[in-house]
Amino acid sequence: MILARMIELRKSYEMGAGVVVEALRGVNLAIEEGEYVAIMGASGSGKSTLLNLVGCLDRPTSGQYLLGDQDVSNLSDAELSEVRGRRIGFVFQSFNLIPQLSALDNIEVPLFYQGMHRRERRRRATALAEQVGLGQRARHRPTELSGGEQQRVAIARSLANDPFIILADEPTGNLDSRTGTSILAIFDELSSRGRTVVVVTHDEAIGGRAHSIIRLADGRVVEPVAA
């Protein structure tokens, strides 16, 4: 089953003085349910722009984006926010945790915004912390955790709402190689359980762990290949 499909997707930015930058130029791609995909390309190739569109953080200038059975190409900001909250999990290079909250509380944040009862939020957050190997550290704040532990919190948080798709933007970029490998093993495990995972990376070794690679150059897909 195709989970996400992009048809002739274009994204341009007006820079002023009549200058228009075309970040994506007619992208066509499909992501299957349960697929593990790496988006790769040089700096300025359009990777981040594509991830923002897949994650409904932005909308295309033209073209069509179908997420599940919903066309999200022209949704309002409020509608895009609703889609993000219920269908998409994000993992960022810089973790993006709330420093005043414990790991468990950070994992609960998406569930709070969805109106889940506190007891159920805590039960689910505790189970997710265990799943990513944080059971003994779940009540610590981000400043008391290592980089790898913080990224585990971010991964658990991305799973809180049982999303359609997990998007990871250079998830090991701030980690040493050994810690990064342990984080990638979590994505491997999520993929083996049928989760749909999309990772943006410049690292060929990380891309090689995925089922398929989407290579971008100058805003165009130049090499959609099986890994």
Predicted confidence (pLDDT) per residue in 50-60, tens digit: 999 999 999 99
Q: What is the pTM of this model?
A: 0.91
**Domains of the chain by start residue, with CATH:** 36-59+76-226 (3.40.50.300)
pLDDT tens per residue, range 69-106 = 899 998 999 999 999 988 999 998 889 999 999 999 99
Please report which confidence band the pLDDT of residue 227 belongs to, taking 50, 70 and 90 as the band edges. Answer: low
Is residue 226 scored above 70 in pLDDT? Answer: no
**Checking phi first, is residue 162 left (phi over 0); if not, alpha (psi -120 to 50) or beta?**
left
Tens of pLDDT along 6-24? 999 999 998 878 788 899 9
